[in-house]
Chains A and B, each alone.
Chain A
Amino acid sequence: MKRSLHSTLLLLLFIAALAIAPLLLPEFYVTLLNYIGLYAIVALGLVMLTGVGGLTSFGQAAFVGLGAYTSAYLTTVHGVSPWLTLPAGLLVTAVVALSLGLVTLRLSGHFLPLGTIAWGMSLYYLFGNLDALGGHTGISGIPPLRLLDLELKSGREFFYLIWTVLLVLVLATRNLLDSREGRAIRALKGGSVMAEAMGVNTPRSKIVVFTVAALYASVSGWLYAHLQRFVNPTPFSLTQGIEYLFMAVVGGVSHVWGAILGAGLITVLKQWLQDWLPRLLGQSGNFEIIVFGLLMIFVLHRARDGLWPMLQRFFSTAGVVAHAGRRRGAAGAAGTARGGFSAAGGPGCQQALWWPGGQ
């Protein structure tokens, strides 16, 4: 299989680049990569939920908060080891996601995204109003992660943990979507009537994909809490929830690698604007967000399916991925997310690309 060989090669190259990155890059770039990794984990969940399952969620930031707060609370108040708080956080998130899912996933059409906004807001204000969780001021002094005798304090050490988790999740996502369950999830987007006619238990599939996406967010939250060693409600607000969706869509919401691309692009762009705009325009104003917004509109005008399919087309025409890629580029264009909240993509949707240059 030539195409799988290509994709495996690309993947190995990517992993190798990641492995040596912290050794070569300056400290701050590693910090940025860490944040990109954290965001990409959440965006990956959204790719599955929104890009593949066709269910739009604005509330992922709240699940990140659940993971982060569970760990922060247990480690600071009860002195539990951070490694035990990970399953605890996942458990809390699973329970919350299942119960929210049971209620809100019954919502059809536009009611669902609003439902996610609703509980996203509720959870955010709940974090801020519970004294046990430090209120709006937050919880400080969260212990760092320890691996045997090694304390994961510096960004470079944490980098390997974050990106290992991310890569494992990428692989897991791919396998999940290729499984029987995954095909059922992929069928969701074509509208539930068709899927149910084919024997898919759509409510069950919706709950599965929703919970899995929430668990991804929770893992990201756990990592966040121990990287930052401080939590307060602001990073888990609706605004951040919208930003995750933003990353996924800009990167390419039907592609697992789009999540990483989107998270990377938005994080780096913001940093870059912060560095360069004051030099171009002077110190007086805060033009960063204005220019950021305008650039994003421009990107969406040029690549409404996100940047990943565009990148793929570019590479396939450049001949990097040989002739097989060209066909796939076309398939990618046809199969990318056209759907909105309930909009159905064509049959092409089932063939969305999961792999750099391969299916």
Chain B
Amino acid sequence: MDLQIALLLGQDGITNGAIYALLALALVLVFAVTRVIFIPQGEFVAFGALTLASLQAGKLPGTVWLLLAMGTLIAVIESSLALRERRFREIPLLLMVNCGAPLLLAGTLFAISPASLPLPVQVLLALMLVVPLGPMIYRLAYQPVAEASVLVLLIVSVAMHVTLIGIGLLFFGAEGSRTPPFTDVTFEIGDALLQGQTILVMVASVLLIVALYFFFERTIYGKALRATAMNRTGARLMGISGNLAGMLSFTLAAAIGAFSGILISPLTTIYYDSGFLIGLKGFVGAIIGGLASYPVAAAGAILVGLLESYSSFHASAFKEVIVFTLIIPVLLWRSLTTRHVEEG
């Protein structure tokens, strides 16, 4: 292996690692706030990328129907609750947010032809379609069991993952898609070409991480999430609603997932079931961070990306064996150095 190959592999590992890092951040965030191990995180990657690809192909993405269906379901549940509790004034707002907004979005998609729009608008549309699914999933699947054990929440996640995979196959078919790159710029380093898109992935990841940092440090919602993560009961006593915090964290997770998908879909082909393995590797990063520390989780995720890249060069058939076996000593080291407090 000469230097050039080593550099190329390193670059590849860091690009993938950057995506894993984003997902790791989202997983840490969701877990810290809600105790949910959000296995369907990966599905948002696939949904984001494939929704964008559908828009570009001039097709109506299936996620529209999902959004409409879930919105209606929530509207029905919330309205009946409001009716029972005689909170009549809230009903119009409920209907508007949960049914009206998705309908408006669907109507817009019908009226205009998304394929002819400029790329940034398409990306925005795709995000608008996918991101609301996050809080909706929280409302429907997790909020009713928000107080259950981590194990039960995990199993709900597994069930949600199974459902979303099925929905993905139904909406997008078994074959994958790619989207055109945001930029065609290439750089030459020695003999090798460096794609602009690769750099874009890294820059965007870093920017997103910085943005999250400011969100948590500077904004009231960010602080509310941190408070909930530190102590749920305490936060509640301070007037921070657990449900609101949950919804907010799921919105962020969905946004990060969908955005990651849109970032990498010009570099690789995304399938309806791509998300699981990508999410799993993000999860590995998150765990290395102890499901608590953002910087360590990001570092862990980049480590996974690098391990993967170098092992795919040396023994591609055994790539996963190598990656996952090497994870164990890292876990052991982390486990012994992290002061672990047992939860009650």
Contact = CB atoms under 8 A, between A and B. Distances in A.
Does a CB–CB distance below 8 Å link A and B in the complex?
yes
A118 B344 contact: no
A292 B162 contact: yes
Interface stretch (B98-106, B244-252, B318-326): B318-326
A129 B318 contact: yes
A297 B320 contact: no
Contacts, number: 155
Interface stretch (A19-27, A168-176, A337-345): A337-345
B336 interface: yes
B335 A108 contact: yes
A119 B328 contact: yes
A122 B320 contact: yes
B342 A193 contact: yes
A304 B321 contact: no
B148 interface: yes
A129 B338 CA distance: 35
A301 B144 CA distance: 7
B332 interface: yes
Given A129-B317, A242-B158, A300-B156, A337 B149 contact: yes
B18 interface: no
B327 interface: yes
Interface in B288-344: 290-291, 317-321, 324-325, 327-328, 331-332, 334-336, 338, 340, 342-344
B320 A121 contact: yes
Interface string B145-169: 1001111111110111111111101
B208 interface: no
Q: B-side binding surface: helix, strand, loop or mixed?
A: helix
Given A115-B328, A125-B320, A304-B145, A286 B335 contact: no
Contacts of B334: 111
A114 B164 CA distance: 22
B35 to A, nearest CB: 8
B328 A106 contact: no
Contacts of B166: 286-290, 292-293
Contact of A111 (B145, B151, B331): B331
Contacts of B169: 286
Interface in B278-294: 280, 283-284, 287, 290-291
Contacts of A104: 328, 331-332
Given A106-B336, A286-B166, A293-B160, 19 more contacts: A106-B332, A110-B287, A111-B332, A115-B331, A122-B321, A125-B319, A126-B321, A191-B342, A249-B152, A289-B163, A296-B159, A297-B163, A304-B149, A341-B150, A343-B149, A343-B151, A343-B343, A344-B342, A344-B344
A107 B332 contact: yes
A167 interface: no
B141 interface: yes
22 contacts: A103-B328, A106-B335, A107-B335, A108-B340, A111-B334, A114-B287, A117-B280, A117-B324, A119-B324, A129-B317, A129-B321, A249-B155, A285-B170, A287-B170, A289-B163, A297-B159, A300-B148, A300-B156, A337-B151, A340-B153, A341-B151, A343-B149
B145 A301 contact: yes
B331 A118 contact: yes
A294 interface: yes
B152 A300 contact: yes
B152 A304 contact: yes
A43 interface: no
B340 A300 contact: no
Contact of B151 (A287, A293, A340): A340
Interface of A: 50, 56, 103-104, 106-111, 114-115, 117-119, 121-122, 124-126, 129, 191-193, 242, 245-246, 249-250, 253, 285-290, 292-294, 296-297, 300-301, 304, 337-344
A291 B291 CA distance: 31
Size range of the chain B interface in the assembly = 35 or more
Interface of B: 35, 141, 144-145, 148-156, 158-167, 169-170, 280, 283-284, 287, 290-291, 317-321, 324-325, 327-328, 331-332, 334-336, 338, 340, 342-344
A339 B151 contact: yes
List 7 tightest A-B contacts by C-beta distance, closest first.
A340-B150, A293-B163, A290-B166, A289-B166, A296-B159, A293-B162, A118-B324
Contacts of A293: 159-164, 166
B281 to A, nearest CB: 11
B156 A297 contact: yes
Nearest to B343: A343
A121 B283 CA distance: 14
Nearest to A108: B340
B284 A114 contact: yes
A118 B159 CA distance: 21
Contacts of A107: 331-332, 335
A307 to B, nearest CB: 13
A192 B160 CA distance: 32
Contacts of A126: 321
A110 B141 contact: no
Contacts of A249: 151-152, 155
A340 B318 contact: no
Nearest to B322: A122
Nearest to B137: A297
Nearest to A247: B155
A146 B340 CA distance: 52
Contacts of B161: 293
Contacts of B340: 108-109, 342
Contacts of A129: 317-318, 321
Contacts of B167: 290
B155 A300 contact: yes
Contacts of A110: 287, 290-291
A118 B343 CA distance: 24
Contacts of B145: 300-301, 304
